[in-house]
Amino acid sequence: DPDPMAGFTAQYLNMWQLNIAKEEPGEPLTTPDLWDLLEADLERDAPIVGAAIESWFGKGVTLGLAHKTTTGLHLTAHDFPTLAQAVEALGTLDSRCKVKVGATLYDDPAVRVLGGRAEPAQGKAAAVAHDLGRHILEGTFTHSGDPYLSEQILKLRTKPAPDGPRLVSKNRADAVKAVMWAFTIAHTRKERRKRM
């Protein structure tokens, strides 16, 4: 019994606490204050250096983009009802960068439009979120403060497990995965250029 006194008063004194606030399980990915510190305006004509597309169990599709700015990488996320619309939106942008596509979406005919630019992306949402949380702490990117992305980031909760972090929140996390995959493409490209 986590609270023996409360159990005693309820069972023997018939005094029940009916309005107990339930604590959410797990740890939040970040705090609203820390997330707000990374907010910045996207520079005009900032080139897209990474893109990714992911869905969340038929609830929508996210197009995540990484833009190269004078201060570093800037992440944005865009919500679409269907995969075809997300691919079409990406096609209208002036970008020839690689595109990571969620493994469950990769074989969809709509993805063929991307040709050789598309590559399958895999990874559990919790592991991707863990990496994103680390980059938030390090301040390695900025974001536009878009409510769609911010809501998913701030509602995400994980719990440590023997085989790595486990997702315990029931909310969508497709934007989290998409922006992290886009960031990874851009970051890898940057590191490769440094080595050259």
Q: What is the pTM (predicted TM-score) of this model?
A: 0.82
Sign of the alpha-carbon dihedral angle for 160, 165, 168, 173:
positive
- Are the beta carbons of 104 and 86 closer than 8 angstroms? no
Q: Note the pLDDT tens digit of each residue in 43-91.
A: 999 999 999 999 998 899 999 999 999 999 999 999 999 999 999 999 9
Sign of the alpha-carbon dihedral angle for 100, 144, 132, 29:
negative
Average pLDDT over residues 122-128: 86
Among 7-16, 49-58, 96-105, 171-180, name the one with the lowest average pLDDT: 7-16
Q: What whole-number distance in Å separates Cα of residue 148 and Cα of residue 77?
A: 7
- Are the beta carbons of 60 and 80 closer than 8 angstroms? yes
Q: What count of other Cβ atoms lies within 10 Å of the Cβ of residue 153? A: 23
Q: What whole-number distance in Å separates Cα of residue 102 and Cα of residue 110?
A: 13
For residue 196, pLDDT beyond 50:
no
Length of the chain: 196
